[in-house]
Chain A
Amino acid sequence: MNEPKVAIAVVCAALLIPAQREIAAQVASKIEAGQYMVNDGGLPISALRLAPTVQFEFPYATVKARGAAFLTDQQLQLADGIVSGTFTSPTVYGVHAEMIGNASRAIDDRSLSTDQVDVQTRVHLRFNERGGIWVGGGVARPWRIGAFSAADITDAGGWAKLGSRTAKFGTATLTTTFTNFAFSKIASVHDSVSAELSCSTAASVVANRIPAPLRTETVGGGVCERSSRFGDLEGSVHWEIGVVELSGQMGRRFGDSYDVTADSRKWSSAMATVWLTDRIAIVGGGGRQPALPLRGLPARTFGMAGLELAYWPMSNRAVPVSLPHAPLVRSFEMKPGLGEMQKIVIHVSGVETVDVMGDFSDWSPLVVSRRGRDLWELSIPLSPGLHQINVRVDGGQWKAPPGMPTMRDSFGGEVGLIGVSPDKTSH
């Protein structure tokens, strides 16, 4: 049990890392704790689940680590862990590219774990800040799943945003994706179940093409390689009304019976989040998840209820969602930090990104990290004296932050003025 404990300790320690002096990287984190019930065909499990996440944000890149662990029988059992990096290009005429890399480990039980490394690229196109589409592709390499080769992954999707945060019924984001997985299955001719399908007319005996580790396992017999593929069509909705966030998804998997098990043909799930404060929320939900064959995980039914501390969006589809109007910055404060550091604290609702820039950054945009519901923070070094600052949300116009003195910027806009006293107080 050392491995899970060490992993959990590392992730939890990372949660405590304060913002560094360098303004390039910002740290955000959250932890979710609650009762989690799962049934994947074996014995149903109900256990306390801890799911910490930490994210380092750079201007054009994000590095994220998250994990989950169950507390069962007075022991902590690591369930899964993932480290991922996303590299994003600047947006030109509404188009931007994205490269995503993931390294993950999933532990189905204490004796079986699987690893996977995958790399994907996507090209996004946004329409009028209210919708967009993307196409992408990549490759995933699973380990410890003897029956699978690397998989080619292609995906495409679209999203649309309806309503607004100030509207009676809030705002809803609808997303549809189709993801195709193409890979090879390896089966021994002595495997009476797999061989019947794998070594039929559609397959070929390719013993000499099998990598050494697999061939070693099938010495003395033939093995077959069979091209497999399946596609996932999934629709999801994320609805925000006041302090309540609802999300749900439904999906259907296409493929022949050899590649898709009956319990993974259809799935649906729903989650609800009710915010008690900027940083604390009650979360609950449940549903059905399909099998993840490349990661060796079976289909499962799950339910959970718990608390979430701190928050920022963790969309695994990287949909660039934004609002067309941005008069939403409710407050903008400067608070003294360590040394010459000043912490910018912004309350703004219904936006996906917040950036600031000023003389302190040589007018390069700095990404502000989401730290709670409508709460965004950034630590920057500010020497005593006069500083100018602009803020923008969702990549829109640069504006002077509210609640601070302003002046014209000579370029047709406005900037906010920050005076930092030698005693570090800002005004």
Chain B
Amino acid sequence: MTHHLRRGFRASVVAASLLLASTLSAQDGDPLSKLDTNNRYAFDLILDSASAAGIPTRPLISKALEGIAKKVDNKKIVDVVRLLFVRLKTVHSVLGGVDEQELYAGATLLEAGAKPAQLELFRPRQKGRTDITAFIVWTDFLQRGIPNEEASSAISKLWRDGVDDATFQSLWTNVKGDISQGLNPGTALQNRIRETPGRASPQAPGKPPEGQENQSSR
């Protein structure tokens, strides 16, 4: 009577073993091991360079993991990581010792098409103020086809006026809606920036508003 049990169980064990083997191979403990030897070596060199330059390595590792997850060619992954390292270094030199998150937000903005000089305005800021939302909105504007100069001008003015994250968010929502209605991206931003509060007293680029603490020495 037990031969049915034995036979079925044996088949199940074999199938389960195959299943486990395939799954375990797919869940390798170190995803970066999927980089081949040469590209892994190049990647490790970039990490060493980043550490030596005081650049956080987590964004670089994350970008490599993203490439691996999206099944991108190894060489392309290393090229992208190298470019990200260069951008992080550039942002670090422009913004100073900001935290990893802001550094990465700045690097994504540069990748979207902003110029390093356009970030200099964001170096001085109020204590506790973060430029992440401003950079996210700016990055998205560039992605939607708004010319960089117009996007830079609008975001910079709002930043100087000291608007909060909610204002940036509201501007993004309105501009996105107008573009989806068929309005020219640049025109959509111009229209919305006129009705956005807080731009009444624009100041010269690079000059912090009164009462704001210059934290460039962080």
Contacts and interface: CB of A to CB of B under 8 A. Distances in A.
Interface string A135-156: 0011101000000011111000
Contact of A407 (B2, B102, B140): B140
A398 to B, nearest CB: 6
Interface stretch (B46-54, B65-73, B152-160, B203-211): B65-73
A209 interface: yes
Given A89-B19, A408-B112, A362 B31 contact: yes
A186 B1 contact: yes
Interface of B: 1-2, 4-5, 7-9, 11-12, 15-16, 18-20, 22-23, 26-27, 31, 62-63, 65-70, 72, 76, 80, 83-84, 99-102, 104-105, 108, 111-112, 132-133, 135-137, 139-140, 143, 165, 169, 172
Instruction: Please indicate which of the listed interface residues B23, B27, B68, B137 has the most CB atoms of chain A within 10 Å of its own CB.
Output: B23
A198 to B, nearest CB: 13
Contacts of A384: 101
Interface string A399-427: 00000011111110111010101000001
A411 B133 contact: no
B43 to A, nearest CB: 15
B18 to A, nearest CB: 7
Q: Report the 9 A-B pairs with minimum CB-CB distance, sorted nearest first.
A: A139-B8, A385-B101, A405-B140, A121-B15, A150-B5, A363-B69, A149-B1, A363-B65, A90-B26
Contact of B68 (A97, A137, A363, A398): A363
B62 A359 contact: yes
Contact of A362 (B15, B62, B76): B62
Contacts of B19: 87, 89, 97-99, 121
Contacts of A385: 99-102, 132
A328 to B, nearest CB: 18
Given A119-B12, A411-B66, A406 B18 contact: no
Main SS at interface, chain A: strand
A99 B111 CA distance: 45
Interface in A366-405: 384-386, 388, 398, 405
A150 B5 CA distance: 6
B69 A365 contact: yes
Nearest to B70: A411
Interface residues of A, number: 55
B70 A419 contact: no
Contacts of A417: 108, 136, 139-140
Nearest to B9: A139
Contacts of A123: 15
A221 interface: no
Contacts of B11: 121, 137-139
Contacts of A364: 31, 69
